[in-house]
Amino acid sequence: MTDPGKLIYLPLVVAAPAAAYFVARFLIGLVRYARADKAVRPMLRKAWGIKARWKRDARRVGLTQIERGRPKWWSSTPATTVIEREMIPTVRVTAQWWGVLVDACTVGRLGLNEFQDAAGHLADVWKVPQVRVEQLRPGVIRLRAILRDPLTESSQKTDAGGRSAVPATALAVPALKASAPIRRQPAPGRTPTGPLSPWQLPADPGVWHAGVDADGNAVTVRSSGVSGAVVAGLAGYGKTSFLNARLVQLAPLPQVQWVLIDGKGGPDYDDLFARAWLSAKDEPEQVRDHLATVHQLMVDRQHAIREVLGCKNMWDVGPSPTWPLVLVVIDEAHTFFNQSKGTDGPSKRLDALARETTRLVEELIRKGRNVGIQVILATQKATADAIPTKIRDNCQVAISFAQRTSEAATAILGSDITASPGEHPRRLTDPAYIGVASMVAPHRPGFTLVRTTHVPDDLADVIATRNAHLVRDPAQLLLGQRMAISRSHLVAREGGGPIRQDHPAAFPFVKPFQHAEEDSL
C-alpha cells in the first residue's frame, strides 16, 4: 500500500519538470538577451511583449473566430447544448535585427486579407512604424513588425573608403553554386553590406538575379522563355542601375549579344556600347533601323530554327555562342512610341517612325520568344499613353520601382497590386527605397519587394569594355551555320553519305538566304 503521507508530494513531482522547463527557458532568454548586441535587445523585448500579449492583441484587432459546436464527450454539459469556442491563430515569434517576425497559422476564414486589414491596427498595438503581411505558404501568414526596414539598407558594393569596389574577378564567371546563400542576417549590430553582387553569382541567361528580399534571400526573375519585360519607376529610383546589374552579369557570356538603345541620349550607355552588337541613342531613324535588323534576324531564325537547332524553341537547348540570346534593352522606351499627331512635315515623319518602331517592338515581343530574342523596356511610366498596351500587356515580366500614382502602378503590375498594399510601388517613394522594386517572382505568392543590387556606372563600363571582344553579329552566325549545313548536305549527296535516295523528298529542304545565293554566284 502506498503511504498516504507521500501523496502530498504528487503535485510537486508533476509540477517540478514543468517548472524546470519554464525556468530553463527563462534563463536561456536571459543569456540570449545578455549576449545580444545593444541594437538587437529592443527587438528581443518587443518579441517577448508580442508573444506574451498575442491573445489579447488578436482579440482587440479582430483576429479571432467564433466556432459553434457541441460539448466534448467528457464534458458534463448536456450534449444538446450549443457552445461557442473562440479560435485564435497560433503564432511563432522571433526577434530579427530589423524587428520581429511573426508567423501565424490561418484559422477558418482568417486568412491573408484579414491579416492585411488588421496590419495597421497591429502596428498601433505593437507600437511599431509598420507591419508588413505576406502569405508565406498555404496556411501560414508572415507578419513583419518592422522597426528598421532591411529593404532600406543600400546594397551598394563599396570598399572601406566608400569607392565602388571592382573585384579582380569581375570578368570571370565564378564557380558559386546556385544554392549558395546570399545575404543572411548580418551579425547583430553590423550594418548589412548587401547581397552578393551580380558578378559573384553564377551567370545564366535563363535566370535574372534581381536582388534580395526583406529576409536577405535571393530573388530571381524568369528570363528563360521570356520575350518581353517592362521595368518602370519614377526617375532616379534605380531602373538604369537595375539594367546595369543584368548587363554586367551577362557581359562575360558569349551566348548573349546585346542591342542597346538609350532613349535618354546622354552618356549613360557610352561605354556599355562597346559590348553591344547594335547600339543607338535617341535618334529615331537609327533606332528603327536597328529594330528592323533584329526583326529580320527573328524572321530568318524562325525559318532556320528546326534545321539548325533541331527543335522549335531555342530555350529547349538554351542559347549558345553560335545561336546567342539577343537582348534588346530600350531605356526610356516611351521616347520612341510617342506620337505628336502634328500636321507639319517633320511631325508626320516622326509619327511614321514611331508607328514603325511600335510595330517592330510589338512583333519582337510577340514572336521572338522561341528564337531567343528578348526585349527589355525601361520607362518612367508604363501607362497606355507612354507604352502602347499591345506591347506592355504582352510582356511576361513586369517590375516596378516607386510610382507616384495607383494608376501608374496598376498599369505596370496589373490590378492585383491593389490587394497588396505592403508591396505597392506608391509606398516606395521615400528616398530610402531607391533601388527597391515590387515584382512577381517565380514560386512566390503575390508580389515581392526586392532590394536590387546597385551597380555603379563605372563598374558596368569596365566589365562591358573588357568583354568587347565577345561581340558577334548573330545574323552572320546564323548565315554561317546554314551554309555549313548546306555544304554537309551537298557532301552527303555527292559522297554517298547517309542520304542516298533518289527521290527529292529524301533531301531536307534548305531555303537559301539572299546572302548565301550571292555568295555562291
Ligand X SMILES: Nc1ncnc2c1ncn2[C@@H]1O[C@H](COP(=O)(O)OP(=O)(O)OP(=O)(O)O)[C@@H](O)[C@H]1O
Residue of 375, 292, 372, 387 lying closest to 334 (CA atoms): 387
435 binds ligand X (CB under 6 A): yes
- Give the shortest CB-240-to-ligand X separation in angstroms: 3
Contact positions with ligand X (CB under 6 A) in 361-380: 380
DSSP secondary structure string for all residues of 105-131: E-BTTB-HHHHHHHHHHHHHHHT-SEE
* Nearer residue to ligand X within complex by CB, 309 or 449: 449
Cβ atoms of 439 and 465 within 8 Å: the answer is no
234 is in an annotated binding site: yes
In a 3-state reduction of DSSP, which class is residue 408?
Answer: helix
233 is in an annotated binding site: yes
* Nearer residue to ligand X within complex by CB, 141 or 436: 436
Binding mask 8-37 toward ligand X (x if CB under 6 A, else -) reads ------------------------------
- Binding residue for ligand X (CB under 6 A) from 452, 459, 479, 513? 452
- Give the shortest CB-236-to-ligand X separation in angstroms: 5
Cβ atoms of 307 and 508 within 8 Å: the answer is yes
C-alpha cell at 425: 510601388
- Give the shortest CB-233-to-ligand X separation in angstroms: 5
Distance CA(346)–CA(140), nearest Å, equals 60
Largest CA distance in the chain: 116
Distance CA(479)–CA(474), nearest Å, equals 9
Handedness of CA 418, 422, 428, 429 (dihedral sign): positive
- Give the shortest CB-340-to-ligand X separation in angstroms: 22
Contact positions with ligand X (CB under 6 A) in 127-166: 154-156
Secondary structure letter of residue 473 according to DSSP: -
CA atoms within 13 A on the CB side of 411: 26
454 binds ligand X (CB under 6 A): yes
Q: What φ, ψ does residue 485 adopt, rounded to 5°?
A: -65, -45
* Nearer residue to ligand X within complex by CB, 212 or 278: 212
335 binds ligand X (CB under 6 A): no
235 binds ligand X (CB under 6 A): yes
- Give the shortest CB-265-to-ligand X separation in angstroms: 11
Q: Which residue has the cell 542591342?
A: 259
* Nearer residue to ligand X within complex by CB, 239 or 288: 239
- Binding residue for ligand X (CB under 6 A) from 259, 434, 459, 478? 434
- Give the shortest CB-414-to-ligand X separation in angstroms: 21
Q: How many beta carbons lie within 10 A of that of residue 216, not counting itself? A: 19
User: Which single residue brings its beta carbon nearest to ligand X?
Assistant: 435
- Give the shortest CB-241-to-ligand X separation in angstroms: 3
235 is in an annotated binding site: yes
Number of residues that bind ligand X (CB under 6 A): 17
Can you name the residues that pair with 364 across neighbouring β-strands?
none
| Non-local CB neighbours of 173 within 8 Å, separated by 6+ positions | 202, 203, 252, 253
Distance CA(435)–CA(245), nearest Å, equals 12
- Give the shortest CB-170-to-ligand X separation in angstroms: 18
* Nearer residue to ligand X within complex by CB, 101 or 387: 387
**Single-letter amino acid code for the residue at 93:** V
**Single-letter amino acid code for the residue at 263:** G
- Give the shortest CB-395-to-ligand X separation in angstroms: 18
Q: Are strands 65-69 and 83-87 parallel, antiparallel or unpaired?
A: antiparallel
257 binds ligand X (CB under 6 A): no
208 binds ligand X (CB under 6 A): no
240 binds ligand X (CB under 6 A): yes
239 binds ligand X (CB under 6 A): yes
- Pick the piece of the chain touching ligand X (CB under 6 A) from 40-48, 72-80, 131-139, 233-241: 233-241
H, E, C per residue of 140-179 = EEEEEEECCCHHHCCCCCECCCCCECCCHHHHCCCCCCCC
438 binds ligand X (CB under 6 A): no
429 binds ligand X (CB under 6 A): no
In a 3-state reduction of DSSP, which class is residue 365?
Answer: helix
Distance CA(195)–CA(453), nearest Å, equals 7
* Nearer residue to ligand X within complex by CB, 215 or 473: 215
238 is in an annotated binding site: yes
120 is in an annotated binding site: no
* Nearer residue to ligand X within complex by CB, 54 or 237: 237
* Nearer residue to ligand X within complex by CB, 30 or 235: 235
- Give the shortest CB-421-to-ligand X separation in angstroms: 23
247 is in an annotated binding site: no
Q: Is 80 exposed, middle or buried (CB count within 10 Å of its CB: 0-12, 13-18, 19+)?
A: exposed
**What residues form the annotated binding site?**
233-240
Query: What residue ranges bind ligand X (CB under 6 A)?
Result: 154-156, 233, 235-241, 380, 434-435, 452-454
**What residues form the annotated binding site for ATP?**
233-240
